């Protein structure tokens, strides 16, 4: 009796281990399928928070130090605070200087914001277009002197490029700086086909944040 009991006790763990292995093989794909979207969402939230901080700090620095430091210095200092994001490969920053022009009436109404300067970061290889205004239109072009500035922008006036941002908010001659931060975050997991023509939504890879100061 003891011998049979001993053999049975040795065989039981082997059967249990086999059952556990089968269960794990069945459940592991489901667990991975659930974990990857959660991880993707967490990555996007982290990247978006970093971009928001970059745009906020950039707008503050631009308004306080634009006459002291070159814009490239300001933008490079901003990107040094963005790890784990790889801004050099997947990021871009634009700084646009906006001024209220002379369309304001005596009560400060109908003021129009016009672009008087725009800069883009020279250290990034990802180059999405600014969502405020694109250099390269109306005879403007990006300078080749290393400043990252847009040349050919006319002085503030009726011929200046107009932006919808801050219309009716700026008085004549009042300056505001808009900082845009872009990042290309490729999702680890795309849209999943669930059958019957149903697909799960995929995360957008193009992240963006903008702050005006």
Each residue's pLDDT tens digit, 15-35: 666 666 766 666 666 666 666
> Which residues in 120-147 are b (16+ Cβ under 10 Å) and which e?
bbebbebeeebebbebeeeebebeeeee
Q: For the segment 53-83, what is each residue's pLDDT rounded down to a tens digit?
A: 999 999 999 999 998 999 999 999 999 999 9
User: At residue 8, does pLDDT exceed 60?
Assistant: no
Q: Exposed, middle or buried: residue 76 (CB in 10 Å: 0-12, 13-18, 19+)?
A: middle
What are 163's two structure tokens? 């932006």
Helix (H) or strand (E) holding 49: helix 2-65
- Does pTM surpass 0.85? no
Return the structure tokens found at 10.
Answer: 């040795």
**CA dist., res. 27 & res. 32, Å (int):** 9
**Cα separation values, 179 from 11, 66, 176, Å:** 69, 12, 10
| CB neighbour burial string for 94-105, b if at least 16 within 10 angstroms, e if fewer | bbbbbbbbebbe
């Amino acid at each position: 009796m003891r011998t049979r009991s001993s053999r049975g006790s040795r065989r039981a763990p082997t059967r249990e281990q086999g059952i556990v292995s089968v269960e794990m093989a069945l459940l592991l794909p489901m667990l991975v399928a659930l974990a990857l979207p959660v991880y993707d969402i967490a990555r996007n939230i982290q990247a978006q928070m970093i971009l928001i901080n970059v745009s906020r700090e950039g707008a503050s620095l631009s308004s306080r130090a634009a006459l002291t430091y070159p814009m490239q210095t300001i933008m490079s200092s901003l990107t040094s605070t963005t790890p784990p994001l790889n801004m050099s490969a997947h990021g871009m920053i634009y700084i646009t200087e906006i001024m209220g022009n002379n369309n304001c009436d005596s009560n400060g109404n109908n003021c129009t914001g016009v672009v008087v300067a725009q800069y883009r970061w020279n250290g990034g290889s990802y180059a999405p277009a600014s969502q405020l205004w694109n250099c390269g239109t109306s005879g403007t072009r990006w300078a080749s002197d290393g400043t990252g500035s847009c040349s050919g922008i006319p002085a503030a006036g009726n011929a200046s490029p107009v932006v919808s941002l801050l219309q009716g908010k700026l008085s004549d001659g009042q300056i505001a700086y808009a900082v845009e931060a872009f990042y290309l975050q490729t999702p680890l997991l795309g849209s999943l086909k669930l059958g019957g023509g149903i697909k799960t939504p995929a995360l957008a890879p193009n992240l963006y944040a903008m702050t005006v100061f």
